[in-house]
Amino acid sequence: MTASLGIHIFHLYPRHMNLHGDAGNVTVLASRMHRRDFCVEVTQVDPGDHPDLSQADLLFLGGGQDQGQRAIAAHLFQLGEQIRGLVAKGLPALAVSGGFQLFTRSIRTMDGDELPGISVFDGYTVDGTKRCVGNVVVNAAVLFAAYPSQHANPAAPLESYPHTLVGFENHSGLTYLQDETSILGPVIVGCGNKGDGSGEGAVVNNAIGTYLHGPVLPKNPHLADLLLSAALRHRYGSEIDLEPLDDTVELRAHTVAIERAQAARTARRLRR
């Protein structure tokens, strides 16, 4: 693959929305492209900027506390119509935690304020009475069946890649999705969107919302490549194969995260 091919990532509000190292997701995306000899351009968007989002091949918005959400909500709302239109045409996006919430219709905060969302995901977020904190494991088999990964560990067959996603949640907001938006997957361990251990995240076309911090992509290389494949498809209008990478370390981290999440769940049950 020559370096003449590449993608343009727009990183939304990195100064305000970078809870639990979420900006590391952009680092992972860029690294996986560079290792395959693709070009990557990253544009950071801050409140007051006038970005040309028509040049974007992938959007990323991390998580943040209420004050961060308040600082960016009005500016993001101004971009909302364009973002919705681009997502409808296949633009991939990853929105994490507070960013995920702002991609719904609205957020009602702990103080009773209501912040406008941009309605990429059909749903809404309200503040809950408990905080959901801990490791999460999600069954994302439906996602990966719909968007099969195009990479494989050279040391193992494609089937060895998990259909699970792992990460760390830390939120009191509860997100309720409506009919037009599918969940990312059922929760195996953790609280998820509604705090009840049912569903986690959201998917509309190639846009993904999730409460998974960590950042999420280092331990889920299969999700990173799903987004990158969609970004290349958005840029060039056709499938472009991703060269296999050796993800031995990443998949070991994924496995350890599942083991720790399950151990923590067992320990909580024994304490009851």
pLDDT 10s digits, 235-256: 999 989 898 899 999 999 999 9
- In this prediction, residue 204 carries a pLDDT of 96
For residue 81, being part of any structural domain is answered with yes
What's the pLDDT at 112? 80
238 found inside a domain: yes
Q: How many domains does the chain have?
A: 1
Count CB-CB contacts under 10 A for residue 243.
13
Whether 68 and 20 have beta carbons less than 8 Å apart is answered as: no
Query: Is 215 contained in some domain?
Result: yes
Q: Is the peptide bond before 215 cis (omega within 30 degrees of 0)?
A: yes
In a domain, 1, yes or no: no
Q: Is 170 helix (H, G, I), strand (E, B) or coil?
A: strand
Domain of 231 in residue numbering reads as 6-271
Q: Is residue 105 part of a domain?
A: yes
Average pLDDT of the segment spanning 60-75: 93
Could you tell me the pTM of the whole model? 0.92
CATH number of the domain encompassing residue 200? 3.40.50.880
Task: Name the pLDDT band for 264 (thresholds 50, 70, 90).
Answer: confident
State mean pLDDT over 198-212: 96
Q: Which residues pair with 134 in a beta bridge?
A: 169
The predicted-structure confidence for 130-166, as pLDDT tens digits, reads as follows 899 999 999 999 998 876 654 444 444 445 578 999 9
